[in-house]
Amino acid sequence: MNLSDEIRYELLEGRIALVTIDRPAQRNAINRGVVAGLREAWRRIGDDDSVRVAILTGSGDKAFCAGMDLKEAAALQLKVPPRDMLPVLGEVDFIDKPVIAAVNGGAYAGGWLFAQMCDLCIAAEHALFGITEARVGRGMPWAAPLIHMLPQRIVMELLLTGKPMTAQRLQGLGYVNEVVPAAQLQERALQMARDIADNAPLTVKAARELVYLSTEMGRSAALRAARHVFEGVYLSEDAQEGPRAFAEKRPPRWTGR
């Protein structure tokens, strides 16, 4: 299913949404069609109770996303971008389900941002990541959360030099979860999605929230907030179903209630 000329949306196995930026000739650069299609994809994923996990990837093997389509940006003579210009998860658009970035090639500028906004990241061996705005005189205010994801001097190197880093280096620094051969990228992302989708959905939702709230709080405040977040999990039907299924030696039947 195409949500725009530039975005493909597929529901796999009845519970995994695969979202593909489909502008391979333009290295999957972000134009108005990409923005509109992604915004619709996030809406569908949020509204569809059958979707447990999403995967975001790019078409072809050259680029995940090369950032803004600079030809379109030049024609628009864009100055200060409005906050809601891009469909950035956690900042402009909000869903409470995990999203995996399957980075199939270069992820530059806005492409880095799209990988950054996802909860997990699997990259092909040849993938490169770069925050290249300094090379074209643009800004990257969206990079502020990186200080929670990478060491300070690595963030400085990325922002000030504009030079890309390999997936292997970023895996060593904890930014990329796994690096795999390109031919195995989609299957490995699907397997990770299956592993998540097999788990209790209320626990997955709360665990994801726990990670993000902990980046914004001190230790004691985060512990108090986390207890509140998980209270509904403990009181759910699924919290009884999990131990019961274990005792009965069968797969649990999650209801999300």
Q: Is the pLDDT of residue 71 over 90?
A: no
How confident is the model over 213-232, as pLDDT tens digits? 999 999 999 999 999 999 99
Read off the pLDDT band of 251 (50, 70, 90).
Answer: very high
What pLDDT, on the 0 to 100 scale, is given for residue 236? 94
Residues contacting residue 26 through CB under 8 Å, at least 6 positions apart: 66, 69
- Which domains, ranges and CATH numbers included, belong to the chain? 7-198 (3.90.226.10), 201-248 (no CATH)
Read off the pLDDT band of 81 (50, 70, 90).
Answer: confident
What pLDDT, on the 0 to 100 scale, is given for residue 70? 65
Strand pairing class (120-124; 178-180): parallel
What pLDDT, on the 0 to 100 scale, is given for residue 72? 65
How confident is the model over 156-215, as pLDDT tens digits? 999 999 999 999 999 999 999 999 999 999 999 999 999 999 999 999 999 999 999 999
% of the chain with per-residue pLDDT over 70: 95
Dihedrals φ, ψ of 254, to 5°? -80, 140
What pLDDT, on the 0 to 100 scale, is given for residue 180? 98
Q: Is the pLDDT of residue 5 over 90?
A: no
Read off the pLDDT band of 138 (50, 70, 90).
Answer: confident
Whether pTM exceeds 0.95: no
How confident is the model over 87-109, as pLDDT tens digits? 999 999 999 999 999 999 999 99
- What is the rounded CA–CA span in Å between residue 182 and residue 63? 12
Per the model's pLDDT, the better-predicted residue between 171 and 70 turns out to be: 171
Per the model's pLDDT, the better-predicted residue between 137 and 45 turns out to be: 45
The whole-chain average pLDDT of the chain stands at: 93
